[in-house]
Chain A
Amino acid sequence: MDDPILLESPAVNLTGVPGVNMSQESLVEIRDLNFTYDSRPVLTGINMTIPRGKVVAVMGISGCGKTTTLRLIGGQLKPTSGTVRVGGQVVHELDADGLYALRRRMGMLFQFGALFTDMSVYDNIAFQMREHTDLPEALIHDLVLMKLHAVGLRGAHRLMPAELSGGMARRVALARAIALDPMLMMYDEPFAGLDPISLAIVGELIRKLNDALGASSIVVTHDVQESLKIVDYVYFVSEGKIVAEGTAEDMKNSKVPYVHQFVWGESDGPVPFQYPSRPYGEELMESGVRGG
């Protein structure tokens, strides 16, 4: 069953300050964003601000619209209404050239890396440099090794993606995403399917690279413990709406039932354990009558 309190109440700003209270100049601004797919609302009335230099997490259960938000920021989808501004530009109003120019200043880490399987690690990272710059190969070589060194995989530059473990593939994808020193990094479930060591390494890299590059980062995740260690601000999304926002500490201490259930991993709560169905007794009785 839908939780009426959860759905009807506005987003809870756990910092206690109305609106987005992060005072730094913002890189991404999402205002009154609605997105509908096949007449089914996916996102409703989303407002978010991603300040420069900060790491912001977008959290929520699978299918709540987190990845859709990233795709709207990257211009891979167009909003039904509302605006997404990146660096002052309204993304969906850009033409193809404008959009591609904007994307050159973005980096995205996909859920399972999305490395080009027909290219070596080296060529994967050199890909964008070769596509978008006229840099000599010697300089590209140095840059690729520098990026790989940053993620601890300089020695793996000759390997093919099929020879990498899940954690290594994610780190190579991270090195590829920062190839052109983006102003905005987007991470789609960066922690999914990683062992604890890789998880900690990737988490640490997200934070360190963000600070070293002076970029802003959006981390879409449902891994609470790891992401709360590294992010500055969190938006909680449920059924296409922001239901809570605040700092990592605010989230840990939140009394909002949805946030509490999510952060502490409780099996039942506003997000029910059971998939919506008819009452159990009624269904059993009916099958008993049919069987008898």
Chain B
Amino acid sequence: MVRALRGLGQRVTSRIWRLGYASRFFLAILMYSGTSLRRLHLTIREIYFTGVLSLIIILVSGLFVGMVLGLQGYDTLQRYGSTEALGVLVSLSLVRELGPVVAALLFASRAGSAITAEIGMMKATEQLSAMEMMAVDPISRVVAPRFWGGVISMPLLAALFSAMGIFGGYLVGVQLIGVDEGSFWSQMQASVDFRQDILNGVIKSFVFGIIVSWVAVFEGYDAEPTAEGVSGATTRTVVTSSLAILAADFILTAFMFTGT
């Protein structure tokens, strides 16, 4: 019994210790971000790897999610004779929720895991140690550009996901089923508020970008320098960032949309 309690206590303590370490690591990234800003090509390169190379999965997923929303939305709205509101339903679902959240989940699986694996392998093959011995700080040269690359890419990918989703909803709703095109676009234009809907969606995706990038670089930097360690860190990145995205989404939604 005592042993079980002690084990539980140790696990809790080690989790809290790790959270503290991750927080200090986050502060270190912010402190050493000067290089990423001064030498912008380092960050732009990471935007290419994390953002541009994630475009296919983001655009295709966005298209299909929008098409499914079109089908499901039409099926529900026609029961109430409100099929002309399909555009509103698709667009609000995407810009408020599905765009930022699904894009962030996809980003965590595609780019977050890649960042963790890359930094973890750099650690396992002593590339980070070599950099330290060359008097170059790995946090400023390797970690910070990847962090900012992810943070900048995330809102752009979420916006593209939403745009593609709306296009998918239009294809299904207007072109396939025959909802009136004028109603589809005009109702969307009238109902979607820039500050309340679009800006809040952008804020959400920015926060998710911070979460995914922070978790990804931390797990990579903290990975055991072995093949098994890197594999475990990659898995942890996807699991931790996905759960953190969903939890953060609930909190942000509660603040942004309650009472509106």
Q: Which residues of A contact B (CB under 8 A)?
A: 74, 76, 100-101, 103-104, 106, 108, 110-112, 114-117, 127-128, 131-132
Whether B61 sits at the interface, judged by CB under 8 Å, is no
B135 touches A100 (CB 8 A): yes
Q: How far in angstroms is the closest Cβ of chain B from A162?
A: 12
Selected contact of A127 from candidates B126, B129, B134, CB within 8 Å: B134
Contact with A along B11-28 (1 / 0, CB 8 A): 000000000000000000
CA A76 – CA B121 in complex, angstroms? 19
Please list 14 pairs of residues, one from A and one from B, whose beta carbons are closer than 8 Å in the complex, sorted by A's number. A74-B133, A100-B135, A103-B133, A103-B134, A104-B134, A108-B130, A110-B130, A114-B125, A114-B129, A116-B122, A116-B131, A117-B121, A131-B136, A131-B141
A112 touches B133 (CB 8 A): no
Contact with A along B105-141 (1 / 0, CB 8 A): 0000000000000000110011101111111110001
B131: which A residues are within 8 A, CB to CB? 116
**Nearest B residue (CB) for A105:** B135
B132: which A residues are within 8 A, CB to CB? 76, 103
**Nearest B residue (CB) for A106:** B133
**Nearest A residue (CB) for B141:** A131
CA A104 – CA B131 in complex, angstroms? 11
A112 touches B135 (CB 8 A): no
CA A104 – CA B137 in complex, angstroms? 12
* Total residue contacts A-B, CB cutoff 8 A: 46
A110: which B residues are within 8 A, CB to CB? 126, 129-130
B135 touches A104 (CB 8 A): yes
A131: which B residues are within 8 A, CB to CB? 134-136, 141
**Nearest A residue (CB) for B133:** A108
A76 touches B133 (CB 8 A): yes
Interface residues of B in 58-77 (CB under 8 A from A): none
CA A101 – CA B129 in complex, angstroms? 16
B127 touches A114 (CB 8 A): yes
B122: which A residues are within 8 A, CB to CB? 116-117
B130: which A residues are within 8 A, CB to CB? 108, 110, 114, 116
B121: which A residues are within 8 A, CB to CB? 117
CA A111 – CA B133 in complex, angstroms? 14
A116 touches B135 (CB 8 A): no
Selected contact of B127 from candidates A101, A116, A128, A132, CB within 8 Å: A116
